[in-house]
Amino acid sequence: MSETSSRARELDAADELAAVRAKFVLDSVVYLDGNSLGALPAAVPGRMEDVVRRQWGSLRIRSWEESGWWTAPERIGDRIAPLVGAAPGQIVVGDSTSVNVFKALVAAVRLAAEGGPGRDEILVDATTFPTDGYIAGSAARMTGCTLRPVTPAEVPGVLTGRTAAVLLNHVDYRTGRLHDLPGLTAAVHAAGAVAVWDLCHSAGALPVGLDEHGVDLAVGCTYKYLNGGPGAPAYLYVRRDLQDRFDSPLPGWNSHAEPFGMRTEYTPATGAPRGRVGTPDILSMLALEAALEVWDGISIDAVRAKSLALTDFFLECVAAHVPEGAVESLSPKAHAERGSQVALRCPDAGDVMKRLIENGVVGDFRPPDVLRFGFTPLYVGFADVERAARVLAETLA
Amino acid sequence: MSETSSRARELDAADELAAVRAKFVLDSVVYLDGNSLGALPAAVPGRMEDVVRRQWGSLRIRSWEESGWWTAPERIGDRIAPLVGAAPGQIVVGDSTSVNVFKALVAAVRLAAEGGPGRDEILVDATTFPTDGYIAGSAARMTGCTLRPVTPAEVPGVLTGRTAAVLLNHVDYRTGRLHDLPGLTAAVHAAGAVAVWDLCHSAGALPVGLDEHGVDLAVGCTYKYLNGGPGAPAYLYVRRDLQDRFDSPLPGWNSHAEPFGMRTEYTPATGAPRGRVGTPDILSMLALEAALEVWDGISIDAVRAKSLALTDFFLECVAAHVPEGAVESLSPKAHAERGSQVALRCPDAGDVMKRLIENGVVGDFRPPDVLRFGFTPLYVGFADVERAARVLAETLA
């Protein structure tokens, strides 16, 4: 037995989250793409069967009340809340991440305008997942702002009295770099601007501390580390003391103070429901609710500790097995700067990933030259990690 | 046997759509709320099981290609297209109706602006389902327009060179009145403005003829007469010759010409996918796809004929059994003005509906005083209609 495989055994034996893997439907594949689509939690199929056959099929329209469909967006938001360090009543689930970025950013510009005129610039992470940039461009266009792409490191230096809002990613989708949410949020606030964070690549993998760090608005998807299923609805966080001033560009009937009053005049709801828009997509939403049950009794700090151990060990195994110079890690070495993924740059990365998948190791390819491996601490073990590195070495040989 | 019950027998015996009922999961309840939430098509539970267990659970990320997840919004749009009289390639499924109203209306104002300056007014149906009005208000605010609520009948008289866009409902959600889509669209066009139609209460119940009547943009939900399930994704129609000029306020990564290119610059896709935004909610979307299979081989003209026969017969049975003056129909008598529902005004309507439901007849209550009964020709029969009128009579007695 090689050194890395005996290390893997030891690490697996000591893993306090090892038993959580049984809450997922998995097979012999080493699945390192949970940062794109989380694996299926075992509770979901049975729940969906009930939702479809009994709640929809038998109760039909009555389920809006009797099966709790109507209140699902807030209820499921409260289930996500502890995972991102938010007290209850501040998160609502629904719509896609893109749509929530639009709500959050337009609302942020409107909040900033309350402080006085002249705030007409939106800063956006220049290395962001593209949709955030596109939507930020539309939000800027529709609010009369200028959009300025900057790297997160540049943000403190370019904040001015003109800055209205800053849209940042907690973890970079490509490199896996973890940005300094507390420090950047404080810098944005010091400049009198509003901070909007995209948590897609951090929620469920590491502590976020939304309340603790005074984040204004945040959005995130639920189909990566939260395992909510393909295209599961996203969420929106609006800090409690901002909720009464949250002025949504998408004031649908679901966000009305009295949605069934069928009023001609719009009166926004109080609290998190103000972030709702139209009728929630119940099937996707209740699959997510069942998926979130795997988090019962799990500490996000334990998840973070294992995540770092997994990525450390992967880098160690890559160093041990892959010929020097064949790949280059784009992911930061420092724990404080690392998310829950490792991005390796190599020639012909698209082709390499194809062969890895054929050999039972699933990550993904991000153009032009990146192999991306995500490590979901709830179901990835150290032996998986070691095998992935070995298969990578064989593939590159 | 009373006259109405023998008539019901005859009508059921002659009903060429009677066999379609077997494609749904139904029970002894008379379900007249399919205009709020369509009944469960029998094909859905098995499909969902496959989507959850095999496509998500086993194939995981590979399903975006192998299970056709990525192209579902356009593919399912093409399945809806014949039901609303649209050639393929013009409808995309995704997001809620409210979000699609926002896309359509902002895009409509931008289209109108191409014709020259000064078009700064949006007309909206004053009796619209509230969300359309709220969203229209936001679209007006964000495009520098004024919002003017008018009844559909008033539209031709108030169209001017200032009119940018007109948002109308094909069928009024409350009264069931069918508006003159061909005539109003022609009037809007004659004024140089853009017509946006909301088909929530007509699609699947009667012919719409989007292409034939030159409608510019349209939106609709899929959980009423299309039986897609609670909160199933809505759709957006953009007429083919307008697609290259469709300028979405929600340009998410899914509407990019090369979504996996991860480009910083936004280049919109061609065709219907330009109306996409973020990652589609696959579970809800594929439930809808299975639900649409009930339409195989069904002519929307036959559906319309039965719909009118059902509502005629319901009014006839109400007249026969309910004491004169106890209820007043708000729904137009003329076929040309009637959708697929009947709205009856009566005192204590909320209470009356509660008792109807307890007695196995499910409609819904719309404040302040309306009993609303929807007739889905695919699964409602004439005996159901007769029973509903009798139970109503007993309840009011």
Domain edges within chain B:
3-17+299-396, 48-295
Interchain contact A362–B (C-beta under 8 A): yes
Q: Which tokens sit at B306? A: 């039965």
Q: Which tokens sit at A97? A: 């991440």
Binary contact (B362, A39; C-beta < 8 A): no
**Which residues of A, range 324-343, sit inside 8 Å of B by Cβ?**
none
CA B74/CA A187 separation, integer angstroms: 43
Neighbours of B274 (CB within 10 A): 23
User: Average pLDDT of chain B?
Assistant: 96
Q: Residue B103: its chain A contacts at CB < 8 A?
A: none
Q: Residue A280: its chain B contacts at CB < 8 A?
A: 96, 231
Q: Which CATH architecture has domain A3-17+298-396?
A: Alpha-Beta Complex (3.90)
pLDDT band at B127; cut points 50, 70, 90? confident
Average pLDDT over residues A240-262: 95
Q: Which fold has domain B48-295?
A: Aspartate Aminotransferase; domain 2 (3.40.640)
Q: Which of A112-116, A390-394, B99-103, B231-235 has the lowest mean pLDDT?
A: A112-116
Interchain contact A99–B (C-beta under 8 A): yes
User: Is A211 annotated in the active site?
Assistant: no
Alpha helices in B169-281 (DSSP H): 181-190
Q: Residue B285: its chain A contacts at CB < 8 A?
A: 231
pLDDT band at A233; cut points 50, 70, 90? very high
Residue to substitute from A98, A128, A151, A198, interface B, most B β-carbons within 10 A = A98
Closest of B329, B325, B322 to residue B373, by C-alpha: B329
- At B314 the pLDDT is 98
Average pLDDT over residues B1-17: 94
Neighbours of A387 (CB within 10 A): 20
Binary contact (A278, B97; C-beta < 8 A): yes
User: Is A223 annotated in the active site?
Assistant: yes
Element (H, E) at B237: strand B235-238
Give residues with Cβ within 8 angstroms of B363, minimum separation 6. B32, B33, B353, B356, B357, B371, B372, B373, B374, B388
Q: Is the pLDDT of residue B1 over 80?
A: no
Helix A300-321 with A3-13: angle, nearest 10 deg: 170
Give residues with Cβ within 8 angstroms of A54, minimum separation 6. none
In this prediction, what percent of chain A has a pLDDT beyond 90?
Answer: 95
Q: What is the CATH number of domain A49-295?
A: 3.40.640.10
Element (H, E) at B345: strand B341-345
**Which residues of A, range 265-324, sit inside 8 Å of B by Cβ?**
266, 277-285, 287
Give residues with Cβ within 8 angstroms of A360, minimum separation 6. A28, A29, A30, A391
Interchain contact B135–A (C-beta under 8 A): yes
Answer whether 0.95 is exceeded by the pTM.
yes
- At A1 the pLDDT is 60
Type of residue numbered B139: A
In this prediction, what percent of chain B has a pLDDT beyond 70?
Answer: 100
Nearest to B279 among A31, A231, A261 (CB): A231
In this prediction, what percent of chain A has a pLDDT beyond 70?
Answer: 100
User: Is A263 annotated in the active site?
Assistant: no
Nearest to B37 among A44, A60, A250 (CB): A60
Average pLDDT over residues B371-381: 97
Interchain contact A82–B (C-beta under 8 A): no
pLDDT band at B355; cut points 50, 70, 90? very high
- At B371 the pLDDT is 96
Cis status of the peptide bond prior to B323, with omega within 30 of 0: no
Average pLDDT over residues B111-137: 94
pLDDT band at A129; cut points 50, 70, 90? confident
Q: Residue A266: its chain B contacts at CB < 8 A?
A: 130, 133-134, 137
Out of A223, A225, A235, A314, the active site residue is A223
Q: Residue B269: its chain A contacts at CB < 8 A?
A: none
B240-270: b (≥16 Cβ within 10 Å) or e: eebbeebbbbbbbbbbbeebeebbeebebbe
| B286/B397: higher pLDDT | B286
Binary contact (A96, B277; C-beta < 8 A): yes
Average pLDDT over residues A289-299: 97
Interchain contact B362–A (C-beta under 8 A): yes
- At A261 the pLDDT is 87
Question: Is the distance from CB of B125 to CB of B168 less than 8 angstroms?
Answer: yes
Binary contact (B221, A279; C-beta < 8 A): yes
Q: CATH number of the domain at B3-17+299-396, out of 3.40.50.300, 3.40.50.10540, 3.80.30.20, 3.90.1150.10?
A: 3.90.1150.10
Q: Residue A358: its chain B contacts at CB < 8 A?
A: none
Closest of A137, A35, A85, A18 to residue A341, by C-alpha: A35
Average pLDDT over residues A134-141: 98
Binary contact (B142, A221; C-beta < 8 A): no
**Paired strand residues for A40:** A25
